[in-house]
Every structure is written in C-alpha cells, then in structure tokens.
Amino acid sequence: MRSSAEPIHRTSLGRGVGLLMVALVAMGVIVALLAWRARATLDDLRRADRINNVLPSMTTLMEDLLNAETGQRGYLLTQRASYLQPYRDAVRNLDRRVEELDARDQDPAHAPKLARVRELVNLKLGEMNQTIRLHDSGRQDEALELVLNDQGLHHMDELRDVLGELTSSLRAERAAISERLSREAGHTELLMLAGLAMLGLFTVMATSQVVLRSRELMRTQKRLKGITDNVPALISHYDADGLLRFANAEVGRVFHADPAALRGRTLEQVRGTENAAQMRPFVERVMRGEAVSFDAEQVIDGETLHFHQRFVPELVDGRVEGFYACSMDITERKRAEALVAASERRMKAVTDNLPVFITYIDAERRMRYVNETLRTWFGLDPQAAIGLHIDDVFGQASTSQRSAQLDLALSGERVEFEITSVMLGKQRHLRTVYVPDVVADGRVQGIFTLSVDITVMKQAEAQLARLASSDALTGLPTGASSTRRWPRRWRGSVGSRARAA
C-alpha cells in the first residue's frame, strides 16, 4: 500500500509544481507586458511634454523676431533711439531662443528644418543689423532701400512656413500620442485584471505547495540525519550563545554520549575544559564571520587524538547566528607523518655524514636538496642554498664546466664523468653521476647528483706513475722514461745501435 502511495504522491507533487511554474510564467509575462506598457507610456508622456515645450519656443522665437523687426523699422522711420531698445532686447534673446528650440526638439527628422530656421534667423538678423549700420553712418536712403527690398520679406515668409510645418508636425504627433494613451489605458486595465487573477491562482497553488514541501522537508531532514550519522566525521552546530543545537552520531560515539542529550550544552561541557580552551580563539574568529581551519590535539578518555577542524559561520542577513563545526580524526595520518618525518631525519643524518656531495636540482636548475657536504666543500649553508639557481650557488664559471652533462641529464640520460674543480682554494678531483628524475609521463622534473672526491686516488695514481718511471734503488730514471725525455733525433740513433747490436 505504501509503495503505491509514493508514486501517487510524487505525481501529484510534480503536477502541482508544473502548474505553479505555469502560473509563475504567466505572471511573469503579464508583469513584463505591464512593465513594457508602462515604459512605453512613460516615453509617450515624455515626448508629449517635450512637444509642449517646443511649441511655445517656436511661438516665442517668432515673436522676438517680429519685435526686433518692429523696433528696427520704427527706428529707421522715426530716428527715435527709443525704438532701438526693443530691437536690442529682441536680438539679444534670439540666439537663446534658437538654442532652446534645438535643445528641446531632439527629433532627428526635424534637424534639417531646425538648421534652416537658424539660418533664416541669422539672415534676418544680418539684414536688420546692416540697415541700422547704414542709417547710423548717414546712408539713410540705402538703409530704406534695403528695408523695402523683398529679400527680408522672403526670409520672414520662409521662416513662417518652416515653423508652421514643424508646428503642424508636432501637433499631429501630440494628437497621436493622446489617442494612443487613451487606447492603451483599456489594455492596461485588462492586463491588471489578468494579473490579479493569476496572483490569486498563484496564492492558492503556493499554499498547497507549502504543505507538500513541508512534508518533503521532514523526509529530507531524516535523510540528511541518516547521512550525517554515517559520515566518519564529527558534525555539530552551535548557536550564537555557544550552545550545541545539533550533533551527529559520530560526536556521541567519540564522547560516549547520546547526541540528543548533548543538545543545549556548551563547548566546554561537550569537549572538556582543556580541549575547549584550545579551540576558543578559533570560535571567536568564526563568530566574527571568518571561516577557519586548524589542527588540534584533543585528549579524550586519556588518549591523545588529532583532529582537523573546520568552523564555518552561520550567517543570517549578514549577522553571525552561530557556526557549524566539522572535525576529521587525523590521528592515524599524524602518526604516519611522524614516522615519515623520523625516517627523513634519519636519512638526512646519513646523507649529511657521507663523504659525498649529494644534491637534487629541478628542471629550472634550482637547488631543491643539498647535503652538509656543501658547507665542507664550498663553505655555504645548505638551507640558504635551497631554491637558488645553481649559477648563484656555485658560480657561472663552475656550472659552465658541467653544462653539457647537465643538458644530457635534463634530457633524460644518465651521465658519469670526472672533473677537476677548485673549492675554497683547494683543487679536488671529482667523479660525478647525474641521474634524471623521470616521472610517469616521461617528463624529466629534475636530476639527482652524486659527487665523490677522488683526489687521494688521483694523487696515488700520480705517485705510482712517478715510481714506475724511476729505479727504486738508485732513484735514476729507468730506460723507458729516460728515453722518452731524449730528443727525437737521439732516440732514433740509440734505437739503430740497439738493433745493430
């Protein structure tokens, strides 16, 4: 019965989630349409507002130009200076009127006409300025002749036509905007009603999903508890007051207590005063919002255990409401590391006391290991040489002697050779072996080097050679050695006599 109920539950849950997603998508579409419509409406209102600003600017521009023309003609006809003041006021305002018109009408389609308006205004102003200059210079007849000329009239007529076309275009656009806004208002109301309906549907479906999800959450919590209780790590949760709110089964196993009985206890009560004192600085850091990782020794029932611990803050709206702790028992790893460290110390003690020079040089020709023989032969601290390039340790002159052998070894070939070097003023004969360190993919990541001082052996060989070339009793050179020291022509004559004899 239970097995058949589960598929039915999953099917109903899936159907509910699907319907909920459809409702959310529908609401999203409606909201997007409303937002788009609101944006379009706002753009229309802004455009209408600009049109309402542009139309008065055109009227004002034309009025100022007519006022300037009236003042000009009054002055020419009556010679009264009082007519010049309205003329000057109108001329002073005209440039500003044209700039305002350009700034308020940003329609690219109107740009050519606005440019023509500016041109005509400048032409008209030029004509009026010229007539006044002619009049003031005593050439009244020329000034009147210029006024009576039809050119100024043509300019004014063309200006009225251009402004009239712009005005008609803007008024027609404003009327279209008004019609569009009134038409879209009804559509917006329908979208609002649809949105309210979808909101009601979403509320009903969301409520049902909350119930289903609450049941699913309970099952999820059981599953998570089953997982955490079987993880080989101590998992716990402490609140902002430092009280334990959750502990998995591993916590109870390590501290020999029921995890449920540990809830509500402090860190000191759970882990002990001395153990908690070690962790207190890290608790203070995590309660400041910092995730921390550290290793700590914990004495539990008289046994020292090592744990790798990770504290993560529990953040709620930017506030630290507690922290989660995860502790991994790394006692075995620590013991293994101690054994490895002891083995390395023994190996280092052996290599540091061998009468050989041992190094490890990586692919970039930097020292990664060197034994104490470096101090004996070169007078250098081995630790200070780690990480340095071999040129910086031995000098470029010394490493250049071995460059061919180094290249062969770094290419993967084992190399043996003898070489003579001067170290701290002492000449040493060395027998050296370079062994490449080849990894699994065939790449050489470094070389092991071993150098043996064979100076004593070389000196013995030289001594034997000297003994072989002289008589042990008399100290005189033997025949073979003395013959080698004779001039070549004497050697031939001695040889001939020997053969003749």
Residues 6 and 141 in one domain: yes
Q: Is residue 340 part of a domain?
A: no
How far out from the chain centre does Cα 143 lie? 75
Euclidean distance between CA atoms 439 and 414, whole angstroms: 15
Q: Is residue 345 part of a domain?
A: no
Question: pLDDT per residue over 198-227, tens digit each?
Answer: 667 667 766 776 677 777 777 877 777 777
Token representation of residue 327: 């502790």
Q: Is residue 310 part of a domain?
A: yes
Question: pLDDT per residue over 393-405, tens digit each?
Answer: 998 988 898 999 9
> Is pLDDT at 407 greater than 90 in this prediction?
yes
Task: List strands edge to edge, sheet with 303-316.
Answer: 244-247, 234-239, 319-329, 303-316, 292-300
**Position 477 confidence tier, pLDDT thresholds 50, 70, 90:** low
DSSP string computed for 207-252: HHHHHHHHHHHHHHHHHHHHHHTTSSSEEEEEETTSBEEEE-HHHH
Residues 135 and 197 in one domain: yes
Q: Is residue 317 part of a domain?
A: yes
For residues 393 and 381, the answer to whether their CB atoms sit within 8 Å is no
Question: pLDDT per residue over 332-376, tens digit each?
Answer: 888 888 888 888 788 777 777 778 999 999 999 999 999 988 898
For residues 356 and 373, the answer to whether their CB atoms sit within 8 Å is yes
Q: Phi/psi of residue 174, each to 5°? A: -65, -40
Question: pLDDT per residue over 132-146, tens digit each?
Answer: 787 778 787 777 777
Residues 260 and 380 in one domain: no
- Count of domains observed in the chain: 3
> Is pLDDT at 103 greater than 50 in this prediction?
yes
Residues 197 and 317 in one domain: no
Residues 391 and 287 in one domain: no
Q: What's 149's DSSP letter?
A: S
Q: What's 83's DSSP letter?
A: G
Q: What value, to the nearest 5°, has the Cα angle with vertex 324 and ends 319 and 326?
A: 155
Residues 124 and 9 in one domain: yes
What pLDDT sits at residue 20? 64
DSSP string computed for 105-136: ---GGGHHHHHHHHHHHHHHHHHHHHHHHHHH
245-250 long-range contacts, CB within 8 A, separation 24+: 245/322
Residues 252 and 319 in one domain: yes
Token representation of residue 11: 């099917």
**Position 3 confidence tier, pLDDT thresholds 50, 70, 90:** very low
What pLDDT sits at residue 341? 83
Residues 249 and 327 in one domain: yes
Residues 324 and 359 in one domain: no
Instruction: Centre a 10 Å sphere on the Cβ of residue 271 and count the other Cβ atoms it contains.
Output: 24
Task: List strands edge to edge, sheet with 356-362.
Answer: 367-370, 356-362, 444-453, 426-438, 415-423
Question: pLDDT per residue over 244-253, tens digit each?
Answer: 998 888 888 8
Cα dihedral angle (349, 353, 355, 357), rounded to 10 degrees? 50
How far out from the chain centre does Cα 288 lie? 25
Q: What's 331's DSSP letter?
A: H
Q: Phi/psi of residue 132, each to 5°? A: -70, -40
Supply the CATH number for residue 282's domain.
Answer: 3.30.450.20
Domain that holds residue 285: 232-335
Residues 83 and 150 in one domain: yes
Euclidean distance between CA atoms 128 and 80, whole angstroms: 16
Tell me which residue of 458, 460, 477, 459 sits closest to 469, measured CA to CA: 477
> Is pLDDT at 318 greater than 80 in this prediction?
yes
Q: Is residue 216 part of a domain?
A: no
Which of 428, 453, 478 marks a domain boundary? 453
> Is pLDDT at 87 greater than 80 in this prediction?
no
For residues 291 and 309, the answer to whether their CB atoms sit within 8 Å is no
How far out from the chain centre does Cα 492 lie? 86
CA distances from 349 to 198, 259, 331, 344 (A): 81, 49, 27, 8
For residues 415 and 409, the answer to whether their CB atoms sit within 8 Å is yes
Q: Mark 149-182 as b/e (b = at least 16 C-beta within 10 Å).
A: eeebeebbebbeebbeebbeebeeebeebeeeee
What pLDDT sits at residue 17? 60
Euclidean distance between CA atoms 347 and 341, whole angstroms: 10
Owner of token pair 């049902």: 208
Q: Is residue 485 part of a domain?
A: no
For the chain, what is the mean pLDDT?
79
For residues 434 and 449, the answer to whether their CB atoms sit within 8 Å is yes
> Is pLDDT at 280 greater than 80 in this prediction?
yes
**Position 496 confidence tier, pLDDT thresholds 50, 70, 90:** very low
Token representation of residue 123: 């032409």
Euclidean distance between CA atoms 492 and 291, whole angstroms: 94
Mean pLDDT along residues 261-286: 89
What pLDDT sits at residue 8? 45
Collapse the DSSP code of 446 into the 3-class scheme (helix H, G, I; strand E, B; otherwise coil) and give the result.
Answer: strand
Tell me which residue of 250, 246, 244, 259 sits closest to 229, measured CA to CA: 250
Residues 302 and 253 in one domain: yes
Supply the CATH number for residue 95's domain.
Answer: 1.20.120.1730
Token representation of residue 194: 């649809």
> Is pLDDT at 424 greater than 50 in this prediction?
yes
Directed axis angle between helix 111-136 and helix 84-104, to 10°? 170
Element (DSSP H or E) covering residue 306: strand 303-316
Which of 432, 453, 474 marks a domain boundary? 453
Q: Is residue 237 part of a domain?
A: yes
> Is pLDDT at 236 greater than 70 in this prediction?
yes
Euclidean distance between CA atoms 377 and 386, whole angstroms: 16
Residues 190 and 253 in one domain: no
**Position 413 confidence tier, pLDDT thresholds 50, 70, 90:** very high
Directed axis angle between helix 150-228 and helix 111-136, to 10°? 140
For residues 449 and 430, the answer to whether their CB atoms sit within 8 Å is no
For residues 225 and 232, the answer to whether their CB atoms sit within 8 Å is no
Euclidean distance between CA atoms 114 and 120, whole angstroms: 10
**Position 289 confidence tier, pLDDT thresholds 50, 70, 90:** very high
Euclidean distance between CA atoms 234 and 252, whole angstroms: 9
Euclidean distance between CA atoms 363 and 446, whole angstroms: 5
Q: Is residue 497 part of a domain?
A: no
Owner of token pair 């656009």: 173
Token representation of residue 313: 């803050």
